[in-house]
Amino acid sequence: MKILITGATGFIGWQVALHLREQGHDIVVLTRDLKTAPVRLPVACRLFEWRSADGPPPREAFEGIDAVVHLAGENIINRWTSSRKKEIVRSRAESARQLVSVMQGLERKPKVFVCASAIGFYGDRGDESLLESAEPGRGFLADLCRQWEQAARQAESAGIRTVSLRIGVALGQDGGALQLMLPPFRMGLGGKIGSGKQWMSWIHVRDIAGLIGHIITTDSVRGPVNAVSPEPVTNAEFARTLAGVLERPHLFTVPGWALKLLLGEAAEVVLDSQKVVPQKAEESGYAFEFPGLKTALQDICDRRDHVLLMEQWVPKPIDEVFSFFSDAKNLERLTPPHLRFQVLGLSTEQLQEGTRIDYRLKLHGIPFRWQSLIHDWQPVTGFSDTQTRGPYKKWDHSHTFIEQDGGTLIRDRALYRIPFGVPGDTVAYLFVKKDLEKIFGYRYHKVRELLGE
């Protein structure tokens, strides 16, 4: 199938795009930033620019599209001023209306529209078990989700099967709820929030992606669908489980009043109680990869490496592409000038298994020496380089080349760790991520210039 995704560069959208590509689907993406999207996406795909504040998306993006997945929207974890609320509603409900208006006017319409929503639809419901048939709650989040879903439902009038995905607390690496929770818990400073009695209906981000893939290919699923694990927990139980997985104490409590002082009305996102049941997902045959909290947290917490994954297609034969990337001097051509990157020497005459390469460069004006070891040398399909000396605690970069559509797909996968443990990671990760996006973004456009689009 050919699937159009919005919000594909975000925490959830990244996983969805990767999962759907792995399932054999073709991906098209609507993005606000055509320049940075290729680096922030894990798959090579066709990109169209769309800023919902400026009007509807381009109709040409929908050509041949079988399914639309709408995940774009402003972050809600922030103090809700009046203007902020308007922007949150616009970025979700109004953008959904714009998508629907374009789909309604198409001669060949998509078969299915999956639009994100949230379990905030239910409001604060104590110990009540909430199925998809439950009535909406009260408050800003409940009103937002109701408007969001009403906008999406208009696609049904055009004969498009429509699903509103009520997403719970999304858990995964380098994003979502755990991005804020993991640092204090790793340092032994974590604990429950408020009374800890409020229910947390959570879901592993890979199950969100898997459920979306399941919905797209399961014609019987329509209407609201609860995207949560079948095993919700209280906040206190969540804190105990996370601390146990990390083998750390959980002695501290974040008082509810302190959270309200910090976030105002937005504190309801973590203080409200929602015990949500994924009835439709299970009845339709979806099998959760992570139904239990402990195994989900173990999967996430055991992954200490950050990952950068990107792809690029070029209209050149694979042997020519491999030859270009296996020439160490081309590294200088592909690196931004501000890094003052220079290859100092190789331990062999040309790159091969076991070659050591010495470089020098500057990061934010600070000079570094870097040495890489070449391994997994597989002409003409790929090789890897691992940092043996340099600024990272760990750096392992694999280059894979795949013959595709008369050219070559270049796939980069970099696993890296930041020095100084949890404090270093907490302080520096976002800065390092931004730097890497700039470096790989420069490389992406340079490759297009040198090897073709």
Q: Please report the pLDDT score of residue 78 as a whole number.
A: 79
Domain spans of the chain, in order of start: 2-178+198-232+266-296, 306-451
Encode pLDDT of 393-442 as tens digits. Answer: 999 999 999 999 999 999 999 999 999 888 888 888 889 999 999 999 99
Q: Please report the pLDDT score of residue 68 as a whole number.
A: 98
Q: Please report the pLDDT score of residue 305 as a whole number.
A: 93
- The predicted model gives 376-380 an average pLDDT of 97
Outline where 220-369 has alpha helix (H): 235-246, 256-263, 268-271, 279-283, 293-301, 318-325, 329-333
Q: Please report the pLDDT score of residue 365 as a whole number.
A: 85
CA angle 82, 86, 90 (to 5 degrees): 170
Burial of 322 (0-12, 13-18, 19+ CB in 10 A): buried
Report whether pLDDT(453) > 80. no
Give the CATH superfamily of 2-178+198-232+266-296: NAD(P)-binding Rossmann-like Domain (3.40.50.720)
Encode pLDDT of 176-234 as tens digits. Answer: 999 889 999 999 999 999 999 999 999 999 999 999 999 999 999 999 999 999 999 99
Report whether pLDDT(376) > 90. yes
- Quick one: pLDDT band at residue 390, thresholds 50, 70, 90? very high
- The predicted model gives 97-119 an average pLDDT of 97
Structure tokens at 52: 């919902």
Q: Please report the pLDDT score of residue 313 as a whole number.
A: 96
The candidate with the shortest Cα–Cα distance to 34, out of 16, 20, 46, is: 46
- The predicted model gives 339-353 an average pLDDT of 93
The Cβ of residue 381 has, within 10 Å, a number of other Cβ atoms equal to 13
Higher pLDDT, 365 or 60: 60
Residue percentage of the chain with pLDDT more than 70: 100
Please state which of the ranges 232-236, 284-288, 327-331 shows the lowest mean pLDDT: 327-331
- Does domain 306-451 fall into CATH 3.30.530.20? yes
Residue percentage of the chain with pLDDT more than 90: 84
Report whether pLDDT(75) > 90. no
Q: Please report the pLDDT score of residue 79 as a whole number.
A: 81
Encode pLDDT of 300-316 as tens digits. Answer: 999 889 999 999 999 99
Q: Please report the pLDDT score of residue 262 as a whole number.
A: 83
- The predicted model gives 89-111 an average pLDDT of 95
The identity of residue 271, as a single letter, is L
Q: How far apart are CA 417 and CA 62, in angstroms?
A: 39
Q: Please report the pLDDT score of residue 324 as a whole number.
A: 96
Structure tokens at 211: 């459920």
Rounded to the nearest angstrom, the gap between the alpha carbon of residue 234 and the centroid of all alpha carbons in its chain is 26
Strands 169-172 and 233-234: unpaired
Q: Please report the pLDDT score of residue 18 as a whole number.
A: 97
Contacts of 377 (CB under 8 A, 6+ apart): 351, 352, 353, 383
- The predicted model gives 334-348 an average pLDDT of 93
Q: How far apart are CA 96 and CA 74, in angstroms?
A: 13
Q: Please report the pLDDT score of residue 184 as a whole number.
A: 92
- Its pTM stands at 0.94
- Quick one: pLDDT band at residue 127, thresholds 50, 70, 90? very high
Please state which of the ranges 23-32, 111-120, 249-258 shows the lowest mean pLDDT: 249-258
Encode pLDDT of 31-47 as tens digits. Answer: 999 999 999 999 999 99
- The predicted model gives 63-78 an average pLDDT of 91
